Amino acid sequence: MGYSIKDILHNNAKRLLHIETEPGLGCTEPAAVGLSAAAAAAMLECKDFTSITVETDPNIYKNAMGVIIPNSGKGCGIPLAAAMGAAAGDPQLLLQVFASVTPEGLAKANALLAANVVTARIAEGVQGLYVKTTITAGGHTAEVLITGAHNNIVARVLDGQIAPVLSDGRCASGSADGNGQSDLAQWLVGLSLAELVDLLDDLDSNDLSYIRKGLELNTALVEYGLSHGPGIGVGRTHLSLLRQGMLKKDAVVWAGIRAAAGIDSRMGGVPLVAMTLAGSGNQGIAAGMPIVAVAQFAVLEDENLMLKAVTLSYLVTCLVKATTGRLSALCGSGIAGGAGVAAGTAYLLGGTVETIGGAIKNHLENFTAVICDGAKTSCALKVGEMVASGVKSALLAIHGCVVRPIDGIIDQSAEQTIRNLGKISRNGMSSMDPTILEIMLDKRL
């Protein structure tokens, strides 16, 4: 039995969604550091580590500096992530590597830090996502290299001899290069928005069930954030303002609050698993939770419409990330995730392909130049506002208010507008990341 073009498109979309979404505990940047260290430590029989050296690309370094690590006692930083991974991390858990860290394991990690065993630095001349951890113990040296994606272990070396790569070290997007590009990412970039929307009609019950399970994971983070106010408590504070009558609960506000609360939990180190998207748990929360919130205000004849809208949001988010780069100077959760929310909201509310494209263009006109200044608790503040505006961008587009193609970087189509955004990210902002990192490293607190 042969396969139609639609079958091929559906299978590629299914592969992409399953590969680009993965459960992760805490921020994926320190998790990548912890995974690298845990995998290196697992190669050594002696656990009396004499040195642990971590080298990363600038973006990993930037994103792992200030975010709270799960099971760390509200600690943060690359040295702590590496020490926790080496002392108590289980490499088999991949991006949930810190789930195995007990209080005793944390004490061992802190002892390594106190003994000045751990060194972290930015690797020179590397392109794209890069984490290399070198550990010495008992006269032996183990090295592990992660590139392309946060869980993609590409090399294990013991005393200069190459060892087999762990069977569960895998690339998040198929066979990726250092920038996280892959065969599937390149396939996605080549699709039109109309083709992405058409794919939604071919989703089967297994596809929709998979999307629902991811939403359930992220909903638990949202509910925890609203109840406990971790991080700086953006979601819970907004909830208080609702109760005081200072804000009105509508689709736009509620979408932002729900996203912010989930990110509060994740950036605050709450030990609950998130469903990541394109290498980021925040992107998974940002691209999915607002659609669920908007659905509460809509009259839907079928729950599957909401799940299809979330799927479209995920695909558009992955498309933007494939164009701008997996890690960049731009806020991926707010810009890419927000574009996904704009598209998904327009679809959910009955918008045409043209309307969906208009919603994306509205959002990108609003937020093209918003920078990523590292993963941190205040991501909830920034991203919550941006995805809320993504909903508003869709509402405006549905009512015929769309940015003109002669304005700024906005083009005739959403697809070309996204490509223009990619040029800004890859070419126009090349000096932005070093400047941001310089400011972060020079701060005296």
Start and end residues for every CATH 3.30.1330 domain found in the chain: 28-163
Long-range CB contacts (< 8 A, 24+ apart) of 102-111? 102/71, 106/71, 106/72, 106/73, 108/83, 109/80, 109/83, 109/84, 110/80, 110/83
The identity of residue 34, as a single letter, is G
Whether the Cβ atoms of residue 374 and residue 63 lie closer than 8 Å to each other: yes
pLDDT, position 3: 35
> What is the token pair recorded at 109?
């990690």
pLDDT, position 13: 81
> What is the token pair recorded at 49?
């580590």
Q: How far is CA 239 from CA 60, 255, 432, in A?
A: 32, 12, 35
Start and end residues for every CATH 1.10.4100.10 domain found in the chain: 183-442
Question: For every residue of the chain, which 3-state class applies, written as one string?
Answer: CCCCHHHHHHHHHHHHHHHHCCEEECCHHHHHHHHHHHHHHHCCCCCCEEEEEEEECHHHHHHHCCCECCCCCCCECHHHHHHHHHHHCCHHHHHHHHHHCCHHHHHHHHHHHHCCCEEEEECCCCCCCEEEEEEEECCEEEEEEEECCCCCEEEEEECCEEECCCCCCCCECECCCCCCCCHHHHHHHCCCHHHHHHHHHHCCHHHHHHHHHHHHHHHHHHHHHHHHCCCCCHHHHHHHHHHCCCCCCCHHHHHHHHHHHHHHHHHCCCCCEEECECCEHHHHHHHHHHHHHHHCCCCCCCCHHHHHHHHHHHHHHHHHHHHHCCCCCECHHHHHHHHHHHHHHHHHCCCCHHHHHHHHHHHHHHHCCCECCCCCCCHHHHHHHHHHHHHHHHHHHHCCCCCCCCCCCCCCCHHHHHHHHHHHHHHHCCCHHHHHHHHHHHCCC
pLDDT, position 180: 42
Classify the C-alpha dihedral 308-310-311-312 as positive or negative: positive
Its pTM surpasses 0.75: yes
Residue 385: other Cβ atoms inside 10 A: 18
pLDDT, position 177: 43
Domain 183-442 of CATH type 1.10.10.10: no
Q: How far apart are CA 434 and CA 285, in angstroms?
A: 28
Q: How far apart are CA 410 and CA 362, in angstroms?
A: 9
Walk along the chain (445 residues) in steps of 10 and give the mean pLDDT of each run. 48 82 91 96 95 95 92 94 96 94 97 96 90 96 94 93 66 40 76 92 89 96 98 97 97 98 96 92 96 96 93 95 87 96 98 98 95 93 97 98 96 96 88 87 75
pLDDT, position 203: 87
The identity of residue 70, as a single letter, is P
pLDDT, position 102: 96
pLDDT, position 445: 59
CATH fold for domain 28-163: 60s Ribosomal Protein L30; Chain: A; (3.30.1330)
Q: How far is CA 381 from CA 39, 176, 236, 290, 307, in A?
A: 34, 32, 11, 14, 26
